[in-house]
Structures are given as structure tokens and as C-alpha cells.
Structure 1
Amino acid sequence: MTQELRTPYEQGNKNQTTTLAECIAWYQDLAQRYPSVLRFEVVGTSDAGLPIYAGVVTADGVFDRAQLKREGRPVFFNNNGIHPGEPEGVDACMALVRDFCLQPARLAALGKTVFLFVPLYNVDGSINRANTSRVNQDGPEQFGFRGNARHLDLNRDFVKCDTLTAQVFNKLFTAWDPDVMVDTHTSNGADYPYTMTLIHTQTDKLGGALGSFLQQTMLPHLFAEMAKRGWPTCPYVNPVKDSPDHGIAEFLETPRFSTGFAALHHTIGFMPETHMLKPFADRYESMRALVETVLDFTIANATTIQELRRAAREAGKARHEWPVHWSMDESKPSSFRFSGYAAKYSASVLGNYQRLSYDRSEPWERDIAYFNHFPADIHVTVPRAYVVPQAWREVVERLQWNGVAMERIDADKVVEVQYYHIKSVVSRPGAYEGHMFHDDVQLEKRTANLLLRAGDWWVPLDQDQARYAIETLEPQGHDSFFRWGFFNSVLEKKEAYSDYVFEDHAVELLRDEPALREKFEQWKTANPALLSNQEAVLDFIFANCQRYVEPEWRRYPVLSVM
């Protein structure tokens, strides 16, 4: 191998990661040298105005996406650098793509499979280089920053799409529709011998035969092969208490995360998390082994995976109920043979508390509880279609970016619909990734004849992208558009009253509206302490009377046509 085809990582001391400029220039040079193997081009622009690149490798030199899709070619997608301080996947991908170019046997082994990759996704964060933002990490010497130009974590942005970068990803992912995705990361947390840990699409949430295939066939194979390659792997170490001794819980990766987003498209997703306390060179080698292992399995089982994905989509078109929320079942733990270090507690020198540490001189291996059952705990009845009023264009855009089939209503019409009345909302204190995130929402289903306007959007559910539409438009979905605050304005009552005038009028309302009077009596019985609070009393009467009702207040705007 010539010196210029060695990656920046390979040319250095194995404790350096490529810069953005080095990475892009290196791929551009490789694509010029091997145009029949690699296509490398700009796919969009970041929030800082930087180009975002993607590459495609095929064994037969066919790069036209339309042709590849017509041929039904399987697609493996490797995303790197979403957190530029976790860069081993960036460097490992460079070497893997180079080897496709230089090793005919490795390229031929791809068969019909398309290798799609983003070399460095968070280009904004990658140019913000230092060695201080990853507090506990062992190398590399310099690395990028987690936040993008808007100081947002892109691995929380896949549904809300505040960033131009996430919008590019949504469109790229939908256009290529990958069968399997590996999104490379580095983890923090407990200390243990493993260099590689693995988050996968949660199998109950992925659901059906596709979820069973991942659980029963793919994961056992990947763990076995990684052990053979010298990199024993365990599930992502998410302790249920303070150390793995007490058990670990599978990570429920909701659609804000890459693997949860992939599940909305019936794509099997993996988020390898190397251990940041291990040397960078070890993290690099284990990451390359993991990507190659998943790729090889995908190539060998592509037909099965594609058939299962098609079946999942077809089954979705006929479902009468859809799950939209999953929770861990603590009563049914599995077990995992885990290698750990002894957890020790000692007095802190900083304060009056006991601190945790791990003693590497006392390794242990035993079965620990592994909580990996997440049954669905909220189901919704599938409507014939949703209607998204045209006023909510940000929602419409995101549905379009993800290939959701929908059409404009051609004329005003009154239709019987179901809608949600939002009874209550509990929001996360403080900002979360730029939003007021709603942790809990309580709903009441109502029926009414409402006007659908010409230009509103009709979203049928007998379509391939039903899952994406349902989990984003149903308010109780983990990462629904409602939870991310896209519809916050309907939570605000627009008119108010003057208390000294309304005090007398409230008496008249209670006299003229029996239902209000009954509801007020119930409220007084339930809230005796509030009877001394004029604002609370008048607010209740104003909010519940029929005379001054605001129909749009707390009415969820997306309608269901049953």
C-alpha cells in the first residue's frame, strides 16, 4: 500500500483521528483513483454552511440510486461522526472503504449489496476540535465536539429535525431505505473489561418476525463472531442501579436516536458503543471488527432481511391497532454472562458521601440480570386516515422528508372525525435540546363533525410509511411531534377576563349551565383549599363554561377519519 493511501490514523501514532479537511480530501482522492468502486459526493449543507458528504461502494460500479432500487439491491448504511468526540468509526470507515478499492476479493464479497456511508455526519462539531470535552476518554489526542453549530445533539434530533443536518439525514435515509444501519459511537459509564458494547434496535419495539429475527438469529451471531475476532462484546452497559453487579437494562432507543428512527422505517439499526476508558487504538480495531461483522451478516442474509422488512410493511397496512409506547417489564429479566470488575465503595475526600470505584485487580464473571423485555403499553386504533391541517407546515415537511404518502384535500367538506382533547400535560423542567419536551400527556377522545379545508393533507394509513406517520402523529408516541412541542400553541387559551366583571357573570353562567354547575360542585368538593383563591375559582368556571368556549383550545389539531 502506498503511503498516500494510508489513512491519517494509520500514518500517525494510532492515537490521532482525522480532521474534517483531511477526511474529505482523502475520500475525494480515493474516488478519483477508483471511480468504478467509489462514488463520493455532497448530499447537503449543515447549519454552519459546511458540505455534508456521503459515499457509495458497489462491486459492479453501479451507483445510480434509481437503478439500484429498481433492482432491489440490499443497502447497508454506515453513519459516522454524529458525535465527533467519538471518532473511531470515522477512521475505521476510511480504512474499510480503501480496502474495498484495493482488495478485489473484499469488493467482490459485497455481491449485490450497496455499502452506503456518511464519513463524518456532524461536520459542524468536527471543526470544533480540542481534547477537553470528553472528560474521561482515553484519546485520541484531539477530537471534535458533541454539539453542532446550533449547540444541539444530533442524536436527539432525528424526529424534530431542528437542524439542517438532520433534515439532510431524513431525506438521505428515506431515499436509500437501508436494510441495516450501523451508527458508530463511544460510551461512558461503568468500568468493565469489554472494549465493545452494543445498542441494537429494541426487538419488542421493532416487532413481529423482523424483531424475532434480530433477537434470535442476528444478535447471537454477532456476539459469537465478535468473540472469535478477539473482541468479546456485551449489550450496552446500562446498570439498573449503580454498577453492573445488580443487572443491566436494555436501552429503549426511541426515535430521537438513530436506531429508534431507523425502526420507524423497519430498518435494523445498531449503535456500537466502544468504552471510552480503553485506548483509542483498541476502540478503533473493535469498531472496525463490529462494522465488518454486521456487514458480512447483512450480505449473507440480505434476502431474508429484505423479505422480513417487506412483510412488516405489508402487515402494517392491515393492522387495526398499532403500539406507540413501550416500557420495561421488570418482572421478566433474562440473564447475560458478564465480565466485570469488583465495585468498591469508600469515603470521598471531596464530601461526606461514599464514592464508587472499580478494582481491576478483582475481575469476575457471572450471570447477571438482563432486562430486555419491553412490551407495548399503549396501543391506538388505526384510523382510515389522518388529516393534518395545512397550517402545521413544519409537521407536513417532516412527513414528506420521510416518504409518507399523502394528498391535498381538493374542496372544503364537513366530515365526522375523532380528535384528542388534551386533558393535561407534564413537561420536562428546563429546555431539552431546544424544546419544552412533554414527558406525559393525558388525552380524551372525542367525536365531532369538523370542517376540512381545501389544501389540508389527507394521510392514508394503508401505506409503507404507516409506522412513521403513526408514531409521530399519535401524541402518546415516545417522540411524537406533540411531545416535542410542535403543537404547543393549542395549549394556550387566547382570551381572558377581568375578575371584577366576570365575578358577577360567573354566577349567571352557573345558573344557566347545569352541566357547568355540576362540574363546579365536584371541583369544590375535590379542591376545598382553592375556594379561597379567586383566580382558581374564576379560571375553572371560565375554562369549563360553554358560553365562552374556544373550540381549538386543547384540541389536538391532527384529526382521525375512522
Structure 2
Amino acid sequence: MINSSVFMLTAALTMNDYLPPLEPWQGKSVALMQQQGPLTTEFELSGGVVSPNYEQTMAFVDRLVAANPTQFSVKVIGRSAAGREIKMLVATEQGAAQLTSSAEKPTVLIQAGIHAGEIDGKDAMFMMLRDIATGKRRDILSKVNLLFIPILNVDGHERRSEFNRINQRGPKVMGFRTNGKNLNLNRDYTKLDTEGVRAVLKVINEFKPDLYIDVHVTDGADYQYDITYGFNPSFASDSPAIAEVLESTLSPMIDQQLEQQGHIPGPLVFAMDKRDFKKGIAGWVASPRFSNGWGDLRGLPTILVENHSLKPYKQRVLGTYVFMDGVINALAEHGKLLRSAVEKEQSFIPTELVVERTYSEQPDFIQFKGIKYKQFDSAISGQLEAKYLGEAEHYEKLPIYWQKVVSKSVKVPTAFYIPPAYANIVTKLKIHGIEVEQGDFSLADKQVQQTSIKSYNFANAPFEGRFRVEAEFERSPFEKAQLLPNWYRVKTAQPLGELATHLLHPEAPDSFFAWGEFTTIFQRTEYVENYALEPFARKMLKQNPAMALEFDKKIREDKQFADDPSARMEWLYARTPFYDNAYLKYPILMEFGEK
């Protein structure tokens, strides 16, 4: 319980009392704000410090549609755990009802508030959509179609407080990072536990956007850049053709637009040591649990925007508007090039898939617009801390460490076979957009393998509501049946074959297995009594000399085994026909071509 006097003291502090000092900013993009007139936003009326609550936000969405009903419409794409509607605004030049997945014009899906305290995208897009509705920006819908989700994490959005993010300058009252069940939606793109992410995936499957933008606010170190963004780089991408178009064609146009309006665009990077920035930065390669990593794996061009949390809310929102403008212009000019890259990636069928990377020991070097800092010994923390001074510092050669080292790759099967008891897995695959067949599948002339678990370790604490599991595996031919009746089959020779492989291959770190979807295979449900097993084992060893020699050798060479009666009997039990053959067996089979 917080002492009331402490709370009053905390409430009396302002951001400037404890956050690093700021350089004054007055970019050209300030002219985008209006002070009065139709559809002036709460953000503008407050001078750039307030973001509306859920009720006000949804009311503004309705006002936008009422102001431009021929081009705007609203769609309820899902409901949160608390029953709140998750809405999406659809905007097209010819009428929102006409938008299909085969639209000739590029379609952009923009998502705000997946972390509800990081809500810059909502207020920026409200301004842009207002400008479209009032006729100020008629050009936008002549270039692209827009899908806009103003708040994805609607329950977290309503856990509003002035004290949700200590290291973020505004808005004055903001939402919370996780949803009502304390789940982080931007860790849910493979396991699909949240209503919000499932809703987004259904939108993507229905409309097939050309570009997906997820707007966040970063944390960590201080630097000059106010708008940072990124995607998996081409040298570490599962869709390198797409990444190359984003790197060489779209990014330069976006950066130019931001710079012309007084913003400083920068790379999406993180400090290796938050107390000593000069040690270098980490170049992140997102795994599929994140929006941009998932998009990269499935061949959907995806940009993660991370506005700088220490820059004022007004500056960040205006920069987001300009960023979106740059995206729209770039996509209008190079949309066909991006679509060609998507087609190339979705037609590519790999034989191997990289599932895990580590950082290079040797860095690359980049120029970087940093902020001066000093280090000091803190009597509070008991260690060396950094204090940013609010003055520009340019690094000519700052070390950057990329996840260039492939630490694990897996062979891509021809197909996966899923037992009918695991229909819940199939449901999730279909939400992902993966093609699944069901039927009676013959294994004749097929090289099908089953995976056994040699050893395993469950996490000591839950992560995102799951006890994750790591394991060592071995595979052997599956010879128990020549027909799989009413099973499911997922072929990897499909546009989302790489995503299917990552989800279903147990060695992939964001697979269903790693997220704990198959915990029941770790439990024993049939047992044996020694009064029955001992005479059976004696007869079995007598009839099988090779097994007897193996048993004797293990007793001679493994003292721990020899001294453990339970281990000895377990070893023998596992070799009887009474043993549970499903125990520690991954139930999904993998086919690796014809024999």
C-alpha cells in the first residue's frame, strides 16, 4: 500500500524533474495541427499532450465515418477479453465496401496501441484521416487504401494512468503495456492467445495488405532520433527480396519526408549497455513472436515503428503523421516492385529454415546521432549509472552488433501430419492463414519420422502466461501405421510454408511446442508393478540375448544406473510391449520425401 504523503509527493513531480533535458524543437510538421474546425482532435485541442480514452476514441471514429461515408466505413474485427469492441476504419477512394484482397491500389494496414501506452499512431492517423475527410488531403486515397486499427489492446488502453511509463514523455494519461490478462500482444504472433492478435491475423487474411505498420514507442537509451523504425535486415531475413525493397527503395523516401519536416529518422536499435552507450548498440532481428518477425517469416512487408520515448508527445505524433505520409508516397510509386518481391518470396520453397540467431562477436560500425552523457556512482543503485545531458554527440564509428550468426537451422519437411485430437492446433494454423487438409493419408512409400524427447526442461516461471519448454530431440522412422485415418496434413510447398515449419517444428523457439502446447505428452498415465514386471523382464532378457548384453553393459558402466532400482526397472519397462509409446513422443509427424 502506497503512503498517501509519498503519493502526493510523486504526483507533484513533473516529467522534467527526473527525465533528461531536451533541446527545443519546432519542426515544419507543427503546421499539420489545427486549433479549431471540423474534427479537431483531442490531441490538437490539448496542444499535443492528451490522447482520448476508449469511449472518446470510438466516438471520433464514428464522427470520421459520418463526415465521409462514401469513402470511410468502420468494421468490428473482434472483441477483447473484457468485451470491448476492437474497431478498424477502412478508407478507400471508391468506397470502403468495394475493398477486396485483390485491390489494384496498394493497401496499407496501420495498427496503433498494441502496447496501449504507446499510442502515438492513434492520434497521428486521426489527424490524417480528418484531413482526408475534410478534403485537405484528397491525394492520399488516390494513392493507397487504408486500414486503420486505432487501438488494438483496448483493455490495456483503459488501464489509464499518469504513472504507467516513467521514461515516456506523454501523453498526459496513457494506457498500459499488456492486456486485461497481463499478456503482451506483441509476443503473441505465433501462439495466438489474445483476441487482439487473432483479430489482426483475420484482417490480414481477408484483405491481404501490401504493407503492415505497427506503431510503438521505444525505451532504453537517449539519442537524437525522434522517429526510429525497422524490419529484419536483408542479410538476416526470411524474406530477403522484400527486405531489400524496404531498405533500398521505401526507406530513403520515408527518411527524406521526415527530414524535410524537421524530424530525425533513425535505425531501430538498442543499447548493448544502457549505462555505457559507447560500448555499442544491438541490431535486432525479430523472431516470429513479434509483429515484424512474424511478417518477415510469412512474406508480409512489415515495419515496426518505435518513436523515441524521451521526445515530447507532440513531436512524436507529428513525426508519425509525416512517416505515414512518406510510406504512402513511397508505396504509391513502388507498390508494384514490393508486390513482385512478395510473389517471389511466397513462391520460394526452402529446404532449410534458420530458426535461431546469435550476435556476432565482432561489430560493424555506423555513424550515429547520440546524446552526451556522463557516468556517476549511484548511492541509490550501488552501481555506475548514466546521466544524459541533452546535448548532441555524433559518433563517427559506433559499434553495432547484429544477429548474424546462425545458431540453429532445421530441415524443412515435405509435410506435417497432425492427429485429429489436436484440432486446436489446426484452428490456430488456419487463423495464421496456413492451408490444412484433412483426410485418410497413406504412408506407403513415404519417409515419415516421429520425434522423441531425450531430455527437457520447463521454465521455472511463466512467460506470457505459458511455461515454456526446451528439449533435446531424436527422430526415428514412424512404422506403427501405414494409414492415418482422419488426420490433418500441412504441406510446406505453400505460400506460408516457412511459417508452418516454424510453428510445427518442435526445435523452433517460437513453435507451438516451445510455447507449451503439448504438455500432456510429458505425463505418465499408465504404470507397472514390479511383481509383474520382474518375472516378465527375466523372461524377456532370456529370450533376447542382445538386450540382456545391453542391460549388463549398462549396469557395469553406469554406477548411478546400477545403484538405482527404479532406473533399472524403468529401462526394462520401456522395452516391453506394455510401455506407453506416446510418452515423450511429439505427436506431430514429419515427412521428408519418398523412400
TM over 0.5: yes
Task: Report the residue type matching 1:8 in the other structure.
Answer: E
Match of residue 48, structure 2, among 14, 30, 37: 14
Residue in 1 that maps onto 2:323: 290
Indicate if the aligned counterparts of 2:233 and 2:240 stay in contact, CA closer than 8 A.
no
In the TM superposition, residue 239 of structure 1 has moved relative to its aligned partner by 2.1
2 CA distance for matches of 1:63 and 1:448?
A: 50
Query: For the aligned residues, what is the CA RMSD?
Result: 2.8
In the TM superposition, residue 39 of structure 1 has moved relative to its aligned partner by 1.4
Indicate if the aligned counterparts of 1:388 and 1:558 stay in contact, CA closer than 8 A.
yes
Q: What's the CA shift string for 1:213-270, capped at 9, x where partnerless? A: 3334333444444333322222223223343312212222111111122223311211
Indicate if the aligned counterparts of 1:177 and 1:265 stay in contact, CA closer than 8 A.
no
2 CA distance for matches of 1:397 and 1:26?
A: 35
Residue in 1 that maps onto 2:241: 209
Residue in 2 that maps onto 1:82: 114
List runs of 5+ in structure 1 lacking aligned partners: none
1:229 paired to 2:261: yes
Indicate if the aligned counterparts of 1:57 and 1:114 stay in contact, CA closer than 8 A.
yes
In the TM superposition, residue 153 of structure 1 has moved relative to its aligned partner by 1.0
2 CA distance for matches of 1:526 and 1:184?
A: 60
Residue in 2 that maps onto 1:556: 586
In the TM superposition, residue 394 of structure 1 has moved relative to its aligned partner by 1.6
Residue in 2 that maps onto 1:102: 134
Match of residue 221, structure 2, among 190, 204, 226: 190
Task: Give the secondary structure class of the aligned counterpart of 1:301.
Answer: helix
Indicate if the aligned counterparts of 2:113 and 2:152 stay in contact, CA closer than 8 A.
yes
* More displaced stretch, 327-336 vs 440-449: 327-336
Indicate if the aligned counterparts of 1:189 and 1:237 stay in contact, CA closer than 8 A.
no
Task: Give the secondary structure class of the aligned counterpart of 1:367.
Answer: strand
Residue in 2 that maps onto 1:180: 211
The aligned length equals: 554
List runs of 5+ in structure 2 lacking aligned partners: 1-33
Match of residue 31, structure 1, among 43, 56, 65: 65
Task: Report the residue type matching 1:469 in the other structure.
Answer: A
1:322 paired to 2:355: no
Match of residue 340, structure 2, among 286, 307, 310: 307
Task: Give the secondary structure class of the aligned counterpart of 1:298.
Answer: helix
In the TM superposition, residue 185 of structure 1 has moved relative to its aligned partner by 0.7
**What is the percent sequence identity of the aligned residues?**
25
Residue in 2 that maps onto 1:262: 295
Residues 143-542 of structure 1 aligned to structure 2 (within 5 Å): 143-203=174-234, 204-242=236-274, 243-316=276-349, 319=350, 321-331=351-361, 333-361=363-391, 363-374=393-404, 376-410=406-440, 417-438=448-469, 440-451=470-481, 452-498=483-529, 528-529=559-560, 531-542=562-573
Indicate if the aligned counterparts of 1:266 and 1:309 stay in contact, CA closer than 8 A.
yes
Indicate if the aligned counterparts of 2:178 and 2:185 stay in contact, CA closer than 8 A.
yes
Indicate if the aligned counterparts of 1:226 and 1:233 stay in contact, CA closer than 8 A.
yes
Residue in 2 that maps onto 1:47: 81
Indicate if the aligned counterparts of 2:297 and 2:498 stay in contact, CA closer than 8 A.
yes
Task: Give the secondary structure class of the aligned counterpart of 2:319.
Answer: helix
In the TM superposition, residue 116 of structure 1 has moved relative to its aligned partner by 1.0
* More displaced stretch, 491-500 vs 81-90: 491-500
1 CA distance for matches of 2:259 and 2:437?
A: 50
Residue in 2 that maps onto 1:111: 142
Indicate if the aligned counterparts of 1:59 and 1:108 stay in contact, CA closer than 8 A.
no
Indicate if the aligned counterparts of 2:144 and 2:328 stay in contact, CA closer than 8 A.
no
Indicate if the aligned counterparts of 1:155 and 1:258 stay in contact, CA closer than 8 A.
yes
Task: Report the residue type matching 1:50 in the other structure.
Answer: R
Task: Report the residue type matching 1:348 in the other structure.
Answer: S
Q: What's the CA shift string for 1:11-46, capped at 9, x where partnerless? A: 113111111111111111111120122111212211
Indicate if the aligned counterparts of 1:420 and 1:445 stay in contact, CA closer than 8 A.
yes
Q: What's the CA shift string for 1:166-190, capped at 9, x where partnerless? A: 2212211211222211111111111
* More displaced stretch, 389-398 vs 337-346: 337-346
Indicate if the aligned counterparts of 2:87 and 2:150 stay in contact, CA closer than 8 A.
yes
Pick closer, same or farther for the CA change 1:102–1:519 going to 2, 3 Å: farther
Task: Give the secondary structure class of the aligned counterpart of 1:69.
Answer: coil
Indicate if the aligned counterparts of 2:356 and 2:409 stay in contact, CA closer than 8 A.
no
Task: Give the secondary structure class of the aligned counterpart of 1:77.
Answer: strand
In the TM superposition, residue 457 of structure 1 has moved relative to its aligned partner by 1.1
Task: Report the residue type matching 1:475 in the other structure.
Answer: P
2 CA distance for matches of 1:454 and 1:247?
A: 56
Query: TM-score, length-normalised on structure 2?
Result: 0.85
Query: TM-score, length-normalised on structure 1?
Result: 0.90
Indicate if the aligned counterparts of 1:205 and 1:376 stay in contact, CA closer than 8 A.
no
Task: Give the secondary structure class of the aligned counterpart of 1:135.
Answer: coil
Pick closer, same or farther for the CA change 1:553–1:5 going to 2, 3 Å: same
